[in-house]
Amino acid sequence: MTAKIPVVENILSANDALAGQIQAQLDQAAVLALNVMASPGGGKTSVILRTVRALMDEVRIGVMDGDIVEIDLRELAALGLPVSLINTGGQCHLDANMVLRALPSMNLGALDLLIIENVGNLICPAAFKLGVHFNIVIASVPEGADKPYKYPSMFRGADVLLLNKMDLQEYMDFDVDYFRQGVEALNPGVAFFPVSCRTGEGLDAWFAWLRAQLNSRSAAG
């Protein structure tokens, strides 16, 4: 077992170096980038669609999707956004090499915000940096309140946490306090937004947070 540790370390070290190259390209183009992660069905695409519709008249947005089919990108493309499929070949996560190879498909000079939708998984994506500025993790009420306890690496690495499908809370045995306690133990003070993509509950606060990051970046540039 010990012989495998250097191999893993080398893989992650190489990935981190490529992630640094990605962030340098993004910074040079003054593009803010998000890595959106969640389990399958957690609401990644729904959150992205809501976010795009709220901000697309204010900022220039592009979306990259780690998947094997373009289903999640069709509605975004129909809105006139530049989109790009990063074909994962069935792998359980995106890595920096995949993103770096796909980056030329996006005209960074024509963007203010790049949203990367990672593969639906609460384990593998947490280990691989993509060179983005913020990791956005989406949990959802139907998944249960124990997810921070089961998948600590994902929640520990979140810069922002959205708890989606709050409109279902009255029908589910979901203990928000227990969920928050698990999150805070791993990631004290993480930006937290309870939301519902179906009703729009809580989304304005998330949009305001994102606008603030974009404005801060613009002012610094």
Q: Does residue 42 belong to any structural domain of this protein?
A: yes
**Is 62 within 8 Å of 151 (Cβ atoms)?**
no
Listed residue (97, 24, 34, 42) closest to 62, CA to CA: 34
The pLDDT of residue 64 is 96
The pLDDT of residue 139 is 98
Report whether pLDDT(34) > 70.
yes
Q: Which CATH number goes with the domain that contains 162? A: 3.40.50.300
Which tops the pLDDT comparison, 138 or 90? 138
The pLDDT of residue 8 is 58
Q: What percent of the chain has pLDDT over 70?
A: 95
Average pLDDT, integer, range 156-177 = 96
Whole domain around residue 127: which residue ranges?
12-214
Q: How many domains does the chain have?
A: 1
> pTM of the full predicted structure?
0.93
The pLDDT of residue 9 is 67
Give the chain's mean pLDDT.
93
Q: Distance (Å, rounded) from C-alpha 82 to C-alpha 114?
A: 10
Q: Does residue 221 belong to any structural domain of this protein?
A: no
**Is 130 within 8 Å of 159 (Cβ atoms)?**
no
